[in-house]
Structure 1
Amino acid sequence: MNAPTAWGERCRQLAEPVVEACSVTSAAAGPAALAHEIRKYLPDWPFREVLCRGGWYRLGGVIDADGVRVSDNLEQWTVAELEARDGELGVLLDDYAGSTLRATHLRGRTHYFAAATPGRASTDFVQLEVEELQETWASPLFRDDASPATLDELIDAPCGGEACAGEHGPRCGTPVEAAHYRFRRLTHVGDLLARMRTQALEPQPIHRFVADWDASSAGPATAFCNHWAIALREHLDRFRQTIVRATPIPALTGEAPRFGAREGTSGLSLHAALLAFDRAVGYPMAWYFGMLAGKAVGHWVPAAVASDAAAGFSYLPERDLAVVRQWLHRPYAF
């Protein structure tokens, strides 16, 4: 996974102008403005937003009640302070008793953009991830009503309610500064999935997912990157090699449509529910891929579809029925 590739080097080159575009675009202007700015730097790469995911945060820095910044990195600051006291957390708490120092959080959303690349494969596209970050006030670090037993409890304490306001400054969640964009990652998805195949003898679920997309009616009907973003997670194995896990995320605005059939449904009623779901999402076999990467469609549906086909009522094209039967033989999901 660590070996460089032509696409890996190309993405590194493309990243530089994207970083510049992020730095000059106000987050208040929205992702469409960012995409427009990126096109100024990379006119041959028509990136468009596919998905936005929010609701997460990271640890931020340390600020006193007057807004004076003590550190940009809360974790590094607390570790250094603890090491200066020979690892004695109690001594650290005593030394800062009555302090008005506050932690901050970086609350964020991840914007996924996609741009097609030459090639006929469904994964021939580049995915750009940009974070929209806003630093906010978090809990006082050394509250009189809290006695953290570990460093983690100290640096990531829950909101202290009334203790987060008054003499300790603004309430938790109050912005410290305006939101801004930060480049996260630029990935050629096809290249990444090819390299991921070297991690294990068996393909990962994402490889089967893409193969099913290509084999089903969805593949020729629409572009994969119109409907899916790929969430990536990395970790180091015991040999210090980078291991990547990839999960498809549906590019839907809001919640997935409701699947209009309960377990036990079959025949015309089930067929109608499949068609309605596919139309609501916008491509054929959406119910199948929604089942694999979501909870809107139950895992009972493929068996019911195959049972209908065996009884002589086959409402799916043969290519789609083959995908369903293969899943029943070797089921998987995310």
Structure 2
Amino acid sequence: MFHDTFPEAGLVELCSRVTPEADHGTFLAAINAEAGDTPFYHVVTRGGWYRVGGVVSRTGERVAPSLRKWAEAESDGDMIALYAAHADEDLLTTRLDGRMHYFVAPCGERSRDFVQLEVEELVEVVDRPLFVDDHVPDDVEELLDPPGAYQARVEPQVLTPPAYVFHGLNDVARLVDDQGRTGGSDRRYIRLLEEWDVSSAGTQARFCDHFVLRLLPFLDRFGEHKIEATPLPVKLVPEPSVEVLSLSGAPLANYLQQYNRDAGFPLAWYFQMLLQKKRMVTLAQTVYVDYQRSYRYLADRDLAVLENWIRNPYSF
């Protein structure tokens, strides 16, 4: 497997030396030189998040790369002393604006048969004054996220160019097998993968072309390391309008068929319902009522998935 031929240390080093590109061409060429018969390709990018950065002067000179470590070292927990020492220096904090790039490499016929590579792209920019509105924070946590921080943001001058940062590499089939052996507190994503395989979606589309997995490690109540996996759609299809919720019969069948076409794979409305919940649940219940009234517009395999969900519902 790719894990064995290109260990994580190699990916960390690769990310550190390759300059991000819009099509990720150089990066993909490098990893696929090692990937063999299972080449990676980019499927989706998700942004809109950031991390706390460091401290700079008003002229952009670096004071510290980490605001937290600097504040802890400078204050020893005394925020009044920190304010007294630095309030007149006109210091600014920085933030790391981030995007997560998801790359996948299919390696089998099942929905779980793919390797997922996650790479962050970070840009450090000037964020805000160190002390917002001359407020003395109660502790380091409030210094990192003070009241009014968003409103106090300054023009986001770029301090460092975009850079790749390795985030994670996971063989999803191995992940599923490991969780099956060791157990876990959240097996919803495994159920979704199994439903994909037995539905029309599994016969006509590849799961990793339409979804990636957001993987969040955590410690369970016994102190064991687990992973929470949440599917993220590659293509975002709008939720149904309020008017759609009153549809049934042929009009509803037509709406769902168009929804599937817009999403690009069969039974898309069902899998989207597991993520969006709310309005989509009403549509699922109406489809089942139509079935009981002998108005059927789902393939038998898809109807079986829906019936199982009616008896034992779940969502993310």
TM-score with structure 1 setting the length: 0.86
> 1:161-200: CA deviations, max 9, x gaps?
6x76xxxxxx342211111111111100111122233554
Matches within 5 A, 1:61-80: 61-80=54-73
Q: Which residue of 2 aligns with 1:168?
A: none
Amino acid at match of 1:215: V
Matches within 5 A, 1:271-286: 271-286=253-268
1:89 and 2:89 correspond: no
Q: Distance in 2 between matches of 1:144 and 1:95?
A: 16
Amino acid at match of 2:61: V
> 1:240-286: CA deviations, max 9, x gaps?
3212100000011xx41453762232100110011000011111100
> 1:49-90: CA deviations, max 9, x gaps?
11100000011112222322222221111122222xxx3221
Q: Distance in 2 between matches of 1:105 and 1:232?
A: 23
Larger displacement relative to structure 2 (293-302 or 121-130): 293-302
Q: Distance in 1 between matches of 2:5 and 2:132?
A: 45
Structure 1 residues 201 and 230: CA distance shift in structure 2, 3 A: closer
1:177 and 2:160 correspond: yes
Q: Which residue of 1 aligns with 2:120?
A: 131
How many residues align? The count is 314
Q: Distance in 2 between matches of 1:214 and 1:102?
A: 52
- 1:137 deviation in Å? 0.6
**For the Cα contact (< 8 Å) 2:277–2:315, is it kept in 1?**
no
Q: Which residue of 1 aligns with 2:50?
A: 57
Give the secondary-structure state (helix, strand or coil) at the position aligned to 1:27.
Answer: coil
Identity of paired residues, percent?
Answer: 36
1:270 and 2:263 correspond: no
Matches within 5 A, 1:242-281: 242-252=225-235, 255-259=236-240, 262-281=244-263
Give the secondary-structure state (helix, strand or coil) at the position aligned to 1:293.
Answer: helix
Aligned partner of 1:319 among 288, 301, 316 = 301
Larger displacement relative to structure 2 (42-51 or 217-226): 42-51
Structure 1 residues 223 and 14: CA distance shift in structure 2, 3 A: farther
**For the Cα contact (< 8 Å) 1:290–1:296, is it kept in 2?**
no
Runs of 4+ aligned structure 1 residues displaced above 6 Å come to none
Q: Distance in 1 between matches of 2:43 and 2:249?
A: 35
Structure 1 residues 242 and 321: CA distance shift in structure 2, 3 A: same
**For the Cα contact (< 8 Å) 1:26–1:180, is it kept in 2?**
yes
Aligned partner of 2:99 among 101, 104, 109 = 109
Give the secondary-structure state (helix, strand or coil) at the position aligned to 1:128.
Answer: strand
Matches within 5 A, 1:1-334: 10=3, 13-83=6-76, 87-117=77-107, 119-143=108-132, 145-157=134-146, 158-159=148-149, 171-198=154-181, 200=183, 204-252=187-235, 255-259=236-240, 262-294=244-276, 298-334=280-316
Structure 1 residues 333 and 12: CA distance shift in structure 2, 3 A: farther
> 1:79-120: CA deviations, max 9, x gaps?
22222xxx3221221222212222111110000000012x33
> 1:210-248: CA deviations, max 9, x gaps?
111112111111111111100011122354321210000
Q: Distance in 2 between matches of 1:30 and 1:98?
A: 45
